[in-house]
Amino acid sequence: MRLATLLLSGLVSLLPLSSSTILQNGQLRETHFQETKIASVTSTSTGWRTYEPNAPEISYKGRWDSKHISWWAAPGIKFGFTGQNVALTFGEHTSPLVLVAYRFGGLDWQMTNITANATHQFISPSTRGLNLTLSPQLPQIFELRVTNWGLGVQVRAVHVSSNSTLIKIPNFSKSIEFIGDSLTSGMYATYEAFSGFGYNIGAGFGDVEFSITAYPGICLTDAVCWDNPRGQTYQWFHTQDTSPRAAKIYGTEPEEWDFSAHPSADLVIINLGTNDNNTHNNLTSAQYLTSYLSFVSKVQKVHPNAQIILMSLWKSFSAVGNSYRQTGAFVDEIYQVYQHYKDEGYVHYFNSTGVLQHNDYGPGSHPTDWGHIKVASHMMQYIRLKFGWEFGASGPEIQHETLYWNNEPNY
Ligand SMILES: *[C@@H]1O[C@H](CO)[C@@H](O)[C@H](O)[C@H]1NC(C)=O
Ligand SMILES: *[C@@H]1O[C@H](CO)[C@@H](O)[C@H](O)[C@H]1NC(C)=O
Ligand SMILES: *[C@@H]1O[C@H](CO)[C@@H](O)[C@H](O)[C@H]1NC(C)=O
Ligand SMILES: *[C@@H]1O[C@H](CO)[C@@H](O)[C@H](O)[C@H]1NC(C)=O
Ligand SMILES: *[C@@H]1O[C@H](CO)[C@@H](O)[C@H](O)[C@H]1NC(C)=O
Ligand SMILES: *[C@@H]1O[C@H](CO)[C@@H](O)[C@H](O)[C@H]1NC(C)=O
Ligand SMILES: *[C@@H]1O[C@H](CO)[C@@H](O)[C@H](O)[C@H]1NC(C)=O
Ligand SMILES: *[C@@H]1O[C@H](CO)[C@@H](O)[C@H](O)[C@H]1NC(C)=O
């Protein structure tokens, strides 16, 4: 078993990179994914100390179920640790080669593909920043996020060096709950949920917890939409999303999400209706309005202290005459929902018109990375001005691989 430890240190310090197929405008995009898989570590492996997935030191971000399987968009884990080694063993319900982002302290995110039933080492003695005790961040913190919206991981164990310990990192005091569809979940963005405006807003504040309960194609109304068996007025109250992955494990009976076991959200951001508004799904404006009116009060019931922001929908951009125009969807209905609740004081309307232009949309009818960042930036400033939340992320990377630059003068 000592062999395992030797092998893994060797592997990690060489940092071999795996090949990948992330596309950018249909072309292969250069990536730098780390190879993190090592020989299996178990609770009897020499040199390691193993924690069960339900160890109180491990914080789960977003929605995870009783089997420690992650759901919805960009779920994550976070913990502090002593020593110089951190590895995780993933369970059988881990999506094949799912791409995750991970980081040490406030250093840059790194990407790696995860294998089911395998152990991956993320921190080793050669990890940059490990010995910098003057670093602004103590204790040492490890964080991981699934980049996709429908794929996930199952945590089976967390390992540190045999003489090291995990440390519980307290939650930030504020939290945001996102309820959305493919737009909030970052579909077709470079790193999917990890590039979407949900993540960009939540992580962008730097010092808030966030959960992105968003899934592509889903409607607000409880109806079959683009193969999603249920709408958010049903699914949001459940731990699992509407993915085939969830159906395979839980059939048509997902676990109910226990809102009382988690802190109540301070802010709820809803962007739903783009799929209800699609003729493919056969829903009417009246159904949408009725669903939205009842949904808002149900959300308020489980998050009684939350400010609820209704986002207007841009839907798509089309060429009209000799220019372009935002199509919009359920413009009047969303405003009507806002007006219905306005006097109660906790419902707000975010007018997204003019934030995006037609070139912020990719051919797959979703925002580009730029588009997501624009939506996030405007929403963050809106929240700052309206609710006085300050921006806490004044250094560490939020958007990964968005460093486009030009050092050539004089075109
Ligand atoms: C890693 O994940 C990315 C994104 O899902 C995928 O394109 C790539 O093929 C994977 N790489 C390997 C080596 O499996
Ligand atoms: C993971 O292990 C389980 C249980 O031993 C097994 O059924 C499954 O096929 C394994 N999955 C992979 C991808 O190896
Ligand atoms: C950190 O210090 C340990 C010895 O305490 C050493 O083995 C390791 O290489 C150092 N790591 C880095 C990244 O400097
Ligand atoms: C833990 O063990 C390693 C390897 O034996 C050693 O280098 C290190 O100093 C120990 N750390 C502590 C805190 O005892
Ligand atoms: C910490 O926040 C996460 C969501 O980010 C939540 O699921 C968890 O219940 C919170 N833990 C505590 C102890 O409040
Ligand atoms: C919508 O209605 C059409 C025509 O009645 C039908 O073919 C189609 O299956 C319906 N779609 C859904 C999602 O119910
Ligand atoms: C979508 O919303 C627009 C703007 O409110 C409305 O004119 C249109 O009838 C809606 N379409 C569907 C299919 O719901
Ligand atoms: C939303 O913003 C657009 C552009 O400024 C404006 O034309 C429209 O009236 C606004 N809608 C509402 C409901 O305020």
CA dihedral of 366, 405, 374, 364, whole degrees rounded to 10 = 0
Q: Which residues touch 213 (CB under 8 Å, ≥6 apart)?
A: 62, 63, 72, 73, 177, 178, 179, 180, 232, 236, 241
Per-residue model confidence (pLDDT) at position 17: 52
- If asked whether residues 150 and 49 sit together in one domain, one would say yes
Is pLDDT above 50 for 366?
yes
Q: Ligand 2 mean position to 370 CA, how many Å?
A: 39
In the predicted model, what is the mean pLDDT of residues 125-137?
76
Instruction: Report pLDDT for 314.
Output: 96
Nearest CA-CA partner of 66 in 252, 251, 257, 215:
257
Q: Return the residue matching tokens 């992955």.
A: 245
Pocket test of ligand 5: the residue of 146, 171, 207 to mutate, having most ligand atoms within 8 Å of its CB, is: 171
Is residue 230 scored above 90 in pLDDT? Answer: yes
**In a shared domain, residues 129 and 213:** no
Kindly tell me the number of DSSP H helices and DSSP E strands found in the chain.
7, 22
Here the CATH number for the domain that contains residue 219 is: 3.40.50.1110
> CA 63 to CA 383: how far, in whole Å?
24
The reply to whether 178 and 146 lie within a common domain is no
Q: Is the peptide bond before 229 cis (omega within 30 degrees of 0)?
A: no
* Tokens at 45, concatenated: 């492996």
The rounded Å distance from CA 59 to ligand 5 centre is: 7
Angstrom distance (rounded) from CA 66 to CA 261: 12
pLDDT tens profile 68-117: 999 999 999 999 999 999 999 999 999 999 999 999 998 999 999 999 99
Residue 264: CB atoms within 10 A of its CB come to: 14
Sort strands 17-18 and 33-34 into parallel, antiparallel or unpaired.
antiparallel
Pocket test for ligand 6, best of 226, 275, 282 (most atoms within 8 A of CB): 282
* pLDDT digits 0-9 by tens, 234-292: 999 999 999 999 999 999 999 999 999 999 999 999 999 999 999 999 999 999 999 99
Q: Give the Å distances, CA to CA, from 379 to 125, 146, 198, 273, 351.
A: 40, 23, 10, 18, 10
186 and 142 in one domain? no
Distance CA 246, CA 250 (A): 6
User: What residues make up the domain containing 155?
Assistant: 3-167
Number of domains in the chain: 2
- Cα dihedral sign, 133-137-138-143: negative
Ligand 4 geometric centre to CA of 2 (Å): 15
8 Å CB contact between 364 and 188: yes
Convert the pLDDT of each residue in 184-221 to its tens digit: 999 999 999 999 999 999 999 999 999 999 999 999 99
Q: Report whether 183 contacts 271 (CB < 8 A).
A: yes
Is 403 part of a structural domain of the chain?
no
CA angle 351, 356, 360 (to 5 degrees): 155
**CATH code (residue 39):** 2.60.120.260
Average pLDDT for residues 1-11, to the nearest whole number? 33
DSSP 311-337: EPB---EEEETTEEEE--BSHHHHHHH
Q: How confident is the model at residue 1, as a pLDDT?
A: 30
Please tell me whether residues 272 and 162 are part of one structural domain: no
Residues 289 and 265 in one domain: yes
Q: Are residues 182 and 88 part of one domain?
A: no
**Residue 304 confidence (pLDDT) above 60:** yes
Distance 36 CA to ligand 8 centre (A): 49
Query: What's the pLDDT score for residue 132?
Result: 76
Element (H, E) at 141: strand 140-146
Backbone φ and ψ of 365, nearest 5°: 60, 40
pLDDT of residue 5: 34
- Expressed in angstroms and rounded, the spacing between residue 151 Cα and the centre of ligand 2 is 17
Q: Is the pTM of this model over 0.85?
A: yes
Please indicate, yes or no, if residue 379 is contained in any of the structural domains.
yes
pLDDT at 194: 98
Ligand 4 contact via 161 beta carbon (within 6 Å): yes
Assign 10 a pLDDT band (cuts: 50, 70, 90).
very low
Indicate whether 388 pLDDT > 80. yes
* Closest residue to atom 2 of ligand 4, CA basis: 163
Same domain, 346 and 375: yes
352 and 241 inside one domain? yes
Q: Are residues 192 and 221 in the same domain?
A: yes
